[in-house]
Structure 1
Amino acid sequence: MNALTSLADIVGSRHLIEAEALRERPQDFWNNVPTRALALVRPASVEEVSAVLAWCNRNGSPVVPEGGRTNLIQGTAASPEAVLLSTERLNQFDAPDLGAMTVQAGSGVVLQALQESCHAAGLRFGLDFGARGSATLGGALSTNAGGFQALRYGVARDQVRGLEVVLADGTVLSHLTPYAKDNTGYDLKHLFIGSEGTLGVITRAILRLHPAPVTANTALLSFTDFDAVTRTLSRLRRDLQGTLSSFEIMWREFFEFNVDALCGGRSPLSESCPFYVLCEAEGFAPDMDDARFEAVIMQALDAGDVKDAVIAQSARQRDELWRIREDFEAEQELFRVMIDFDISLPLSAMDAFSREVDEALNTHIPEFLGLHILGHLGDGNLHVTTGLPTPERSDDLKALVYGLIAKHGGSISAEHGIGLNKRDYLGYSRSPEEIATMRLLKKALDPKNTLNPGKILQ
């Protein structure tokens, strides 16, 4: 009880939740098991985060940072003796700096709130994905999240100018620089972005912003072969003059499944094809962008690369097309024992990889319930999802797919992180020497192994 009293003294008694109450909430959005932890604390400042981490370090208590708890990798799973550190009260952010095109924000800021504030100022925060309404900035940075606009703006680390982090012993590293050029030694922020809270707890960041586009044009395209898809990606990148912001590919099985579930089987396109792409361009010339987009799509049709196309004629039609790509409720019902893979591959390997996965599942695990493949083609990221009637062969299925990823020189995690779920497969993408170096960094920055222990590295 004295231990919890000490923590309550740091954050205030209202902001400490004890073990018994925590057991009434699920571990995270995807795991409906009771939360196991000694306590949850909600610090409101970097000083309070520092004091909590220093206390945990002195007492040998594991500490697990929490953001929006929408991660897919059990990144916030805790042991009964761990202290959960929620960043929800670190949710302040400044007005965007219009001249520098930056904004300072706390790690507990919900992405959608930040996006809306920037939009109101005529600016764009270049990170966006489906969980925008609950995911926090700290969680996105700690996993180096990607999303729909990485093709144009890059992934999470590309949005960061400066960072404030608290180390395991409570030491505060604050380098909140708003400028792009800073060659003063090691760029420490990149150690913590993507480290999943295992090296330090992110508390604040200065983020780069972009001018907000004023036009948006969206089209759904179909293709009969994968090479035509990649040729069209190159064409749109060139002929849309840098305004292409999304190029989302869907294999036929996922597309037709969601069309059946969401549209009653009435596809926006007339013929069934092996591949579909939802593409979007956002620009700054209202008098030119619509016509240019339509002309470029027609050129791809005339060239024979695109089999069929539909261009959204209203915001409602745009939302309906995006819903086919973004809605996963029916998929979650189908794959009750869901096994999903968030991977990166060379574009040249994607078609062969998808065929080999399908063949391998049919040969070795014929009880699988389907194979849904989609992703952010412009940055080489695919999401591969399947399911089983029961969980017994889950490990066999994972080893099969991860083996094929390694064969084609891919990454086992493109944007979701490693956490617990992928920890045992890290060697499929990283060499023994790289993993040994990761261990050296972990030992140097967290010698007592109190920060999110067991995640990424055993």
Structure 2
Amino acid sequence: MALTAALGADAVLLGEAIDRHYQTDWSGGASVQPLAVLRPSGTEQVATAMRICHHYHVAVVPQGGMTGLAGGAIPSANAVALSLERCTALEPVDMSEATLTVGAGATLQAVQEAALSAGFVFGVDLGARGSCQIGGNLATNAGGNGVVQYGMMREQALGLEVVLADGSVLSMLRPMRKNNTGYDLKQWFIGSEGTLGIITRATLQLRPAPQAKCTALLGLHDYASAIRVLRHMQSHFPGALAAFELMWEDFYATVLQWHQTASPFAQTYPLWVLIEVTGAEETALTEALQETLSQAMEQGDVADVVIAQSQTQARALWHIREATAEFLTHMVPISFDISLPVHHIGDYAEECQRALSQQWPLHKTLRFGHLGDGNLHLTTDANSLDPATDKATLIRSVEEIVYGLLAARGGSISAEHGIGTHKKDFLAVSRTPQELAAMRAVKQALDPLNLLNPGKVFDPLFDSKVLPA
């Protein structure tokens, strides 16, 4: 086999040696065994593998930490999977440029720890930090908890190294923040889900680590109050509001039940907000947060508040919000990752709840999101719907309700998880025919044989389907 000869026997897995880990991702899609699993050790081996696959017209499905929720890394039976798990090299932090150059297989947590050891922070954080890989984070333009302060993965990438479908290499590892020399090619690959090229290395922007951090959980009476509190916090902590995580009571109460933990509050509220602010000195920051929240309570926007008195308490509060990693343990989740203008989120969330209740009165849907960047997550437990209907039909029915209401408000069907296979039928909800045509043109130019992650994001020769009238 040409790939084994070129990469070495330890870099090519065949048959029974292909572990189930490579056959599906966290989206819960059916497992598929690929023709082979390639495990190159760096850019040169990725390029070699792509040249061979291009020569033989063999499709390639890039894989990272397999934590995606849209099916983007699930392989095909007639393709090889290319795992970046061995591309883990981390160069020393460049102290003068405040950058870190890493292999695409490095985990997000490894990058965070390397940054902290040098006195910096990396601007993206999410619950799968110990498993997800930087290449996958970039390929899906991951967001997470810190977007309100630092932006998404797109904002963290100063340079990339990318292998194209024919095995040629684009080396764009330049640390400059200003570089206006024509098209910014690296942006083509961020968020492209491995359909245009395989990211093998990245130069990431770091920020000085804050010396202090304070966390608080707020109880609110309504969504309008949440928006006012968000703007209040941003005005009092400009550039220092690190998280503003919104949880509806359905999410909050369910997670406490899962954890068998009592709420730190004496009563319940319709909405809960987990906030985090950063600063230079802990005592001053805590006092400023207390004063700011006292003002919000006097104005009637905050009903109740608990401020973490230690990092242990802060982690306990975050443990509630990050319980999304436990969904697969407790339910059969039908999950949505959507975005829309902030002022629409409250009404939209209630519309979805009413529409789902009309169809399935006993449905269980959990609502939560990153309010500061307009990202709402909905997760419906398929077990709470009609037990006589097969899962695929239930998923499609819930999607048509959720995305149908979203289309009327001009929202996006994917805020931070990508399209993969799960959402491509509804891509036309959020993209015009002209945009889809431009996307197909870029795909045709860079991958004319359609070898890179075929069937993901959209089918190159066809428009996405639209919602039924």
Q: 1:356 is matched with which residue?
A: 351
CA distance in 1, matches of 2:117, 2:350: 45
SS at match of 1:437: helix
Q: 1:99 is matched with which residue?
A: 96
Q: 1:408 is matched with which residue?
A: 409
Q: How far did 1:21 drift?
A: 2.4
CA distance in 2, matches of 1:172, 1:186: 17
Letter in 1 for 2:439: M
Q: How far did 1:23 drift?
A: 6.0
CA distance in 1, matches of 2:97, 2:255: 42
Q: 1:450 is matched with which residue?
A: 451
Q: How far did 1:284 drift?
A: 1.6
Letter in 2 for 1:339: I
Letter in 2 for 1:229: A
* Runs of 4+ residues over 6 Å off in structure 1: none
For residues 51-62 of structure 1, what are the structure 2 equivalents within 5 Å? Answer: 51-62=48-59
Q: How far did 1:32 drift?
A: 7.5
**Which of 204, 213, 216 is the matching residue for 2:213?**
216
CA distance in 2, matches of 1:263, 1:211: 38
**Which of 262, 269, 285 is the matching residue for 2:265?**
269
CA distance in 1, matches of 2:283, 2:359: 56
For residues 225-264 of structure 1, what are the structure 2 equivalents within 5 Å? Answer: 225-264=222-261
- Does 1:302 pair with 2:303? no
Whether the aligned pair in 2 keeps the contact of 1:23 and 1:35 (CA below 8 Å) is no
**Which of 272, 279, 290 is the matching residue for 2:286?**
290
Q: 1:21 is matched with which residue?
A: 17
Aligned CA-pair RMSD = 1.4
Q: 1:394 is matched with which residue?
A: 395
Unaligned runs of 5+ in 1: none
CA distance in 1, matches of 2:223, 2:164: 46
TM-score normalised by structure 2 residue count:
0.93
After TM superposition, the structure 1 stretch with the greater mean CA deviation from structure 2, 446-455 or 99-108, is 99-108
SS at match of 2:192: coil
For residues 62-77 of structure 1, what are the structure 2 equivalents within 5 Å? Answer: 62-77=59-74
CA distance in 2, matches of 1:30, 1:418: 11
Task: Mark the CA change 1:440 to 1:94 in structure 2 (over 3 Å): closer, same or farther.
Answer: same
CA distance in 1, matches of 2:274, 2:260: 16
Task: Mark the CA change 1:114 to 1:187 in structure 2 (over 3 Å): closer, same or farther.
Answer: same
SS at match of 1:174: strand
SS at match of 2:282: coil
Task: Mark the CA change 1:329 to 1:172 in structure 2 (over 3 Å): closer, same or farther.
Answer: closer
Q: 2:430 is matched with which residue?
A: 429
CA distance in 2, matches of 1:287, 1:312: 13
Q: How far did 1:431 drift?
A: 0.7
SS at match of 1:177: coil
Whether the aligned pair in 2 keeps the contact of 1:22 and 1:34 (CA below 8 Å) is no
Whether the aligned pair in 2 keeps the contact of 1:73 and 1:417 (CA below 8 Å) is yes
CA distance in 2, matches of 1:451, 1:137: 19
Whether the aligned pair in 1 keeps the contact of 2:214 and 2:276 (CA below 8 Å) is yes
Letter in 2 for 1:308: D
Identity of aligned residues (%): 43
CA distance in 1, matches of 2:446, 2:171: 16
- Does 1:84 pair with 2:77? no
**Which of 105, 112, 116 is the matching residue for 1:115?**
112
Q: 2:339 is matched with which residue?
A: 344
CA distance in 1, matches of 2:11, 2:32: 17
CA distance in 1, matches of 2:353, 2:27: 26
Q: How far did 1:364 drift?
A: 2.3
Task: Mark the CA change 1:316 to 1:95 in structure 2 (over 3 Å): closer, same or farther.
Answer: same
CA distance in 1, matches of 2:62, 2:15: 16
TM-score normalised by structure 1 residue count:
0.96
SS at match of 2:344: helix
Task: Mark the CA change 1:23 to 1:68 in structure 2 (over 3 Å): closer, same or farther.
Answer: closer
CA distance in 1, matches of 2:97, 2:329: 46
Whether the aligned pair in 1 keeps the contact of 2:213 and 2:282 (CA below 8 Å) is no
- Does 1:31 pair with 2:25? no
SS at match of 1:328: helix
CA distance in 1, matches of 2:19, 2:211: 47
Q: How far did 1:334 drift?
A: 4.2
Letter in 1 for 2:56: N
CA distance in 1, matches of 2:325, 2:105: 27
CA distance in 1, matches of 2:39, 2:118: 30
Whether the aligned pair in 2 keeps the contact of 1:251 and 1:275 (CA below 8 Å) is yes
SS at match of 1:178: coil
CA distance in 2, matches of 1:164, 1:13: 25
Whether the aligned pair in 1 keeps the contact of 2:61 and 2:452 (CA below 8 Å) is yes
Unaligned runs of 5+ in 2: 460-469
After TM superposition, the structure 1 stretch with the greater mean CA deviation from structure 2, 384-393 or 302-311, is 384-393
- Does 1:190 pair with 2:187? yes
Whether the aligned pair in 1 keeps the contact of 2:135 and 2:200 (CA below 8 Å) is yes
CA distance in 2, matches of 1:35, 1:111: 26
CA distance in 2, matches of 1:440, 1:62: 19
CA distance in 2, matches of 1:367, 1:148: 31
Q: How far did 1:31 drift?
A: 3.2
Whether the aligned pair in 2 keeps the contact of 1:124 and 1:211 (CA below 8 Å) is yes
CA distance in 2, matches of 1:30, 1:397: 16
Q: How far did 1:268 drift?
A: 1.1
After TM superposition, the structure 1 stretch with the greater mean CA deviation from structure 2, 389-398 or 298-307, is 389-398
